[in-house]
Amino acid sequence: MARSLPQNIEAEQALLGTVMVYPKAMVTCFDNDLKASDFFSENNQKIFQVLDSLYQEKKPTDFTSLITRLKDLKILDEIGGVDYLSTLSDSVVSAYSAEHYINLIQEKSLLRNLISAAQSIVTESFDNSYEGEEVLDKAERLILDVTHARKTSDFKKIPNVIDTVMDTVAELGKSKGEPTGVKTGFKRLDSITHGLQRGDLIILAARPSVGKTAFALNIAVNASANMKKPIAVFSLEMPAEALTQRMLACLSEVNISNIRSGFFRGNEWSKLQEASSHLRELPIYLDDSPIIKMSEIFAKCRKLKNEHGLSLIIIDYLQLISPGRSGNESRQQQVSEISRNLKMLARDLDVPVIALSQLSRDIEKDQSKEKTKRGPVLSDLRESGAIEQDADIVVFLYNPDDSKQKKDNTVNLTVDIAKHRNGQITFFPLSFTKSCNAFYNIEEDVSEKEGE
């Protein structure tokens, strides 16, 4: 037995009647972004289209005006005539029920759209002319389209926002100057950012082999120890075992090559065992899928947050994320979409997101042409200006002088905060011991750039 599509004809009729009797109810329809396509009945769709046209033209939407316009369009009889319109208006009780009817109509419309998307997915899944990945991409788009069609949030009144802000500030005051966000373990960075803040997208960019992955893993280890809440690390370039070796090297200060070879000197094995015990207790979750889409990252992070909580997301690296849709989009458009989705990920899950990024080769060309070493600038972010636009913080990591490498394989790298939407831009040094992938604070004066 065939099932009928979700619908609420009574709510549709009640709303149309309410608008005719109380024309101001049309304002409520407009505020709630009600569309003619949300109605199930074709006749009710046509009636609402006419009412909407009258409203847009700043003309009355009462019974008489509606009949006149329907006659002009020669569709009065088609929608049921004057008798049907009279039936709609006769049952109206109050204008205050309009929003309730709108919610009922939009709820059924949402369900019908989901059914339509699901049927399209099923049809194309049975069609052998489509590849699996192509069908999956379309399925993602269809579901996202339905999701984005939901009613947007209302304006927030400033008195209510002020109350929220003042409560937050009062709570922050209890921290007595301590970082209020996720602590990275690096004093200068935590001082500037007050800890990585919820909802922020942080871009960490460097040329290959400078140490950005090591820096991100150091932050993961430090933050997980401080926050005691899960941290999700997505590595599209390196397997989980290699990441774990790097974190063990950082914690134990044992040379990474010794860990990989199993050849230890002195007490290195006991140091590694101690580091292993410590790392085992940290709530770090690794995903080393070499190919992953933003929709999968969303799903995995949402599931992790619902089941265990979530304090930070790290993605290594942005340019390796698979584009969410097939087609003729340029690489720049694909990266722009990924960048925007990363910002949505931070906001929707209310956690900071650190996304590693490559830098353009132009920086090396400029250095060769000018025969001088310069630090990265925002225009060096590879493949898309949208990365710079969407990021709340952009951090560059670079070696200002390659020649200054010490005997113990340690080098001083510059951490350059080139963009900070809610704070100062500045740079400072950190010590990086490559042999064990460990970063250390340097206690010294720092130079500051002029703020924006």
Per-residue pLDDT tens digits for 400-439: 876 455 656 788 898 999 999 888 898 999 999 888 889 9
Which amino acid, one-letter code, is at 357?
S
Evaluate if residue 213 carries a pLDDT over 90.
Answer: yes
Average pLDDT (222-251) is: 90
Beta strand pairing status for 426-433 and 410-420?
A: antiparallel
197 and 111 within one domain: no
pLDDT in tens, 75-133: 999 989 999 988 887 767 667 788 888 989 998 998 988 888 888 888 888 877 666 66
Question: What is the model's pLDDT at position 383?
Answer: 65
335 and 247 within one domain: yes
Evaluate if residue 185 carries a pLDDT over 70.
Answer: yes
Question: What is the model's pLDDT at position 4?
Answer: 85
Evaluate if residue 334 carries a pLDDT over 90.
Answer: no
Average pLDDT (6-25) is: 89
Question: What is the model's pLDDT at position 22?
Answer: 84
392 and 281 within one domain: yes
At 303, the pLDDT band (50, 70, 90 cuts) reads confident
Secondary structure (3-state) at 403: coil
281 and 424 within one domain: yes
Q: What is the mean pLDDT of the chain?
A: 83
Evaluate if residue 152 carries a pLDDT over 60.
Answer: no
Residue 355 lies in a domain: yes
On whether the CB atoms of residues 359 and 409 are closer than 8 A, the answer is: no
In the chain, the number of structural domains is 2
Residue 446 lies in a domain: no
Tell how far CA 293 is from the center of its chain.
13
Question: What is the model's pLDDT at position 365?
Answer: 60
CATH number at residue 18: 1.10.860.10
Nearest Cα neighbor of 279 from 314, 301, 247 is 247
348 and 212 within one domain: yes
130 and 235 within one domain: no
311 and 387 within one domain: yes
Residue 96 lies in a domain: yes
Residue 312 lies in a domain: yes
pTM: 0.65
Range of the domain at 90: 9-148
Whole-number percent of the chain with pLDDT over 70: 85
Question: What is the model's pLDDT at position 51?
Answer: 92
CATH number at residue 354: 3.40.50.300
pLDDT in tens, 158-178: 777 788 778 777 776 776 667
pLDDT in tens, 346-370: 988 889 999 998 887 766 665 555 5
Question: What is the model's pLDDT at position 298?
Answer: 83
267 and 121 within one domain: no
At 341, the pLDDT band (50, 70, 90 cuts) reads confident
Evaluate if residue 200 carries a pLDDT over 80.
Answer: yes
Q: Which two tokens stand for residue 11?
A: 């709510």
Average pLDDT (134-162) is: 69
d(CA 55, CA 32): 14
Evaluate if residue 444 carries a pLDDT over 70.
Answer: no
Nearest Cα neighbor of 403 from 412, 391, 416 is 412
Q: Which two tokens stand for residue 105?
A: 């109509």
Residue 134 lies in a domain: yes
- Among residues 148, 166, 201, the one where a domain terminates is 148
pLDDT in tens, 274-289: 989 999 899 999 998 8
On whether the CB atoms of residues 262 and 275 are closer than 8 A, the answer is: no
133 and 188 within one domain: no
Secondary structure (3-state) at 172: helix
